[in-house]
Each structure stands twice: as structure tokens, then as C-alpha cells.
Amino acid sequence: MGENEIDHALVLRVQQGEKRAFDLLVGKYQHKIVSVIQRYLHDWSESQDVAQETFIRAYRALANFRGDSQFYTWLYKIAINTAKNHLVSLGRRPPSDDIDAVDAVQYDGGSRLRDTDTPEHELMRQEMEQTVAKTVEALPEELRVAITLREVEGLSYEEIAETMQCPIGTVRSRIFRARDAIDQKLRPMLETQRARP
């Protein structure tokens, strides 16, 4: 069974009410979608939020997905539109030079073959995951809980505020501080990676 058939089968399961199948699609495409969004937004935490919004929009629209295009191409278009809308809402002009959605699969596939299939990249990915896990573990409890509810559990800011019994502004602040701490730890690793030939 090819990638498109697997995606289509998962989409059908979601459309039949199996929410867990959507989690599998999110897991499969999360990093790709964040990469797409980072072409528009250069802030890591902002890109994470817009990626989350992309998946929420995709989930809500999935009932209308008929499989006329590949699932990733459809999701890619939602990500691009969500990123552009986000920029417009901030009063920033979105760039006009998109990668065509039809080429999205080939574009991402090519970069994946070049970048991720090397032992060095896999080692770097593992080191980054360990760094993130250690950083989150070392955070004060209120920051650790907030970032875990957001990034792992996928809760909205409103749901986190309700769970933690605090104002949404406090939730935003805690998540920002947690992401900033993670960013501080990851930045030297990413700079080292970029410096390599």
C-alpha cells in the first residue's frame, strides 16, 4: 500500500468518527507542515501555533475532503492559507512567491531524501529530542504543565486556562517562556548544524 492509499484510508477512518486516525496523520505530517509555515514565519513558537491552527482547520474541513488531490497537497494549501492569514492579521504582508501546491509533495520529498536519510541527521534529531525533553523536565512546574498540555496534549489556550485555573494571558505567558527556554537550548545546536558544509 502506497503513501497516498495509507493517507486515504486514514482520512476515511477519521470521516467515520475515529479521531485517533487523525492523530496518525498529524504525527506523519507535523514536521513537514511546520517547515512549510517557517518559510513565512521565522519565529519557531509562532510557526508551532500556526501549524496547530492548520491541523484544527484541516480536521474541521476533513468531512469535505473527497480525495481528488493527495491529502498532503490539500493539507499544504491549508497551511499556506493559515500562515498568510496569520501574517495579514498581524498587519504583515505575506510573500507572493509560493511553491506551487502541486509541486509540494516533490519539493518536500526531495529535501527529505537529501537531509533526513543520513546517520548524521538522525543523530542530530535524537540529540534535539533529548535536549527538548531535558529542558521541559527542568522547567518550573507551571511552565512544564502549560507547554505539555499545549504541545503534547494539543489543548487550546482556553482549555489550558480552564485546566490550570488561570487567565488565558497567564497561559500565553507560560507557554511563551517555556518555548523560549527550549529555543535557547536548541539555537546553538541549530547554528552548529547550519555551519556544517
Q: What is the pLDDT of residue 5?
A: 86
Q: How many CA atoms lie within 13 A of 1 on its CB side?
A: 7
For 45-94, write each residue's pLDDT tens digit. Answer: 888 899 999 999 999 999 888 888 889 889 988 998 999 888 888 787 76
Answer yes or no: are the C-beta atoms of 14 and 25 closer than 8 Å: yes
Q: Tell me the whole-structure pTM to 2 decimals.
A: 0.51
Range picked from 15-19, 65-69, 102-106, 125-129 for highest mean pLDDT: 15-19
For the domain 3-115, what is the CATH code? Answer: 1.10.1740.10
Distance CA 161, CA 170 (A): 8
Return the domain boundaries, the chain: 3-115, 119-195
DSSP H helices in 39-118: 44-61, 71-89, 104-115
The correct CATH number of 119-195 out of 2.60.320.10, 3.90.1150.10, 1.10.10.10, 3.60.15.10 is 1.10.10.10
pLDDT band at 196 (very low <50, low <70, confident <90, very high): low
The whole-chain average pLDDT of the chain stands at 80
- Using an 8 Å Cβ cutoff, are 147 and 136 in contact? yes
Rounded CA separation 80/107 (Å): 15
What confidence tens digit (pLDDT) does each residue in 144-193 have?
888 888 877 777 888 889 888 999 999 999 988 998 888 888 888 777 76
